[in-house]
Amino acid sequence: MSLKIDVVRKIYARQGDTPERVLFEGLSLELADGEVCALVGPSGTGKTSLLQMVAGLDEDFTGTIEGRPPDIGYLFQTPRLFPWRTARQNLELVLPGRVERAGELLAEVGLAGSEDVYPQRLSLGMARRVALARALAVEPKLLLLDEPFASLDTATSKGMQDLVSAQLQRSRPTTLLVTHHWHEAAALADRIVVIDGSPARIVENRAVLRPRAAE
């Protein structure tokens, strides 16, 4: 089933000296089952806000999100791990009754040997891998990735990209990937959607053409 995003209007109300902000007005986007769509746009245009609306974490808008599956994986901009739980224990939280799977998933994201490490001892790249493993643990039909490669050095970012790419190919969830970088979008996505302006609108929506594999 495709995911149909139809936002009629999203407003952030005035807060103190910060005036009301109409974030979206008439924004529609449809993702085919299993499609990977990169969402690109300048800082502050509303990409994270849109992910939260798609996830159902923010319902304070007019419009509809159709076809949202029950199993959603969400990689937030910051890893959001529980600091008092080890990497493995963070995963076990979303794997009730399947604790051995936590170790397998950590190995899949290259963290074998770091299972018993607490988040404050993990680098950002490692913490994000744990968060990615947690997002994938629920075997999501819909995967929301909010800047998974930001603030990582080039080698770590490339490693994380390869990891995400392998996971997308393996389980093929419908995916909305927020990124600031065209090259990341082009490498991973089937389609690139650019939003811009205030209220933000879709200013570009194009398929990524890939060379055919040799037969």
Ligand X SMILES: Nc1ncnc2c1ncn2[C@@H]1O[C@H](COP(=O)(O)OP(=O)(O)OP(=O)(O)O)[C@@H](O)[C@H]1O
Minimum gap (Å) between residue 104 Cβ and ligand X: 32
Minimum gap (Å) between residue 37 Cβ and ligand X: 15
For ligand X, give the closer residue by CB, 51 or 122.
Answer: 51
Minimum gap (Å) between residue 126 Cβ and ligand X: 22
Contact at 8 Å (CB) between 46 and 23? yes
Show contacts with ligand X in window 29-48 (CB under 6 A): 41, 43-48
Q: Which amino acid does the sequence have at 148? A: P
Q: Residues 6 or more apart from 137 whose CB is under 8 A from it? A: 73, 91, 94, 95, 101, 102, 105
Cis peptide before 199 (omega within 30 of 0): yes
Minimum gap (Å) between residue 13 Cβ and ligand X: 8
Interacting residue with ligand X among 6, 9, 11, 12 (CB under 6 A):
12
- By the rule CB under 6 A, 25 interacts with ligand X: no
- By the rule CB under 6 A, 56 interacts with ligand X: no
Helix (H) or strand (E) holding 25: strand 21-31
Cα(27)–Cα(93) distance, integer angstroms: 35
Contacts with ligand X, residue ranges (CB under 6 A): 12, 21, 23, 41, 43-49
